[in-house]
């Protein structure tokens, strides 16, 4: 389980140069959680793609629908007073603290492409690359060879 921010969601759903990285992250850990606030940020990202990048409204609405379905049941609300304390302590916006505080409260990593947030709260925030590098055998479970041998029947 990891917390991801709206940009990571966009990298995953909006096909582009960062999609492969986001797919590798999803392959390594498919249980993504977000604060309820994520949807507003994701809508704003889609608005920018539509307004400045030429994404048709129908495509933006389709991606929004996919994202909402993806996080159905995986939205959590961090304690508001904790978010404010964390944002002041870490020196990050309350928007970014929504994600970082949720990760800290859940005892999981927060994956973000925001270098300033990674630097401000390194105990919880990591890049996709750092998460993948530090995750042992991303997505794979390896067992030791069995200490026993089977007998052949003759």
- Residue span of the structural domain in which 32 resides: 2-134
Residue 15 resides in a domain:
yes
Output the pTM of the full model: 0.84
| Number of domains comprising the chain | 1
Residue 139 resides in a domain:
no
Residue 116 resides in a domain:
yes
Q: For residue 56, is pLDDT > 70?
A: yes
Write out the two tokens for 138: 């991303």
Residue 151 resides in a domain:
no
Residue 35 resides in a domain:
yes
Distances (CA, A) of 18 to 23, 66, 98, 106: 9, 18, 23, 27
Residue 43 resides in a domain:
yes
pLDDT of residue 135: 76
pLDDT, one tens digit per residue, over 98-130 is 999 999 999 999 999 999 999 999 999 999 999
The contacts of residue 100 (CB under 8 Å, 6+ apart) are: 3, 86, 90, 92, 110, 117, 121, 124, 125
Output the domain CATH number for residue 84.
3.40.50.1010
Q: For residue 148, is pLDDT > 90?
A: no
Residue 75 per-residue DSSP state? E
pLDDT of residue 136: 53
């Amino acid at each position: 389980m990891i917390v991801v921010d709206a940009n990571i969601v966009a990298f995953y759903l909006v096909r582009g140069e960062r999609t492969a990285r986001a797919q590798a992250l999803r392959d390594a850990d498919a249980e993504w959680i977000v604060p309820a606030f994520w949807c507003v940020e994701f809508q704003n990202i889609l608005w920018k793609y539509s307004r400045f990048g030429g994404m048709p409204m129908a495509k933006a609405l389709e991606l929004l629908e996919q994202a909402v379905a993806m996080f159905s049941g995986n939205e959590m609300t961090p304690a508001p007073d904790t978010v404010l304390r964390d944002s002041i302590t870490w020196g990050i916006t309350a928007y970014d603290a929504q994600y970082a505080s949720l990760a800290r409260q859940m005892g999981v990593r927060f994956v973000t492409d925001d270098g300033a947030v990674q630097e401000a709260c390194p105990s919880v925030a990591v890049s996709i690359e750092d998460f993948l590098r530090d995750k042992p055998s991303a997505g794979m479970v390896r067992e030791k060879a069995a200490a026993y041998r089977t007998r052949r029947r003759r």
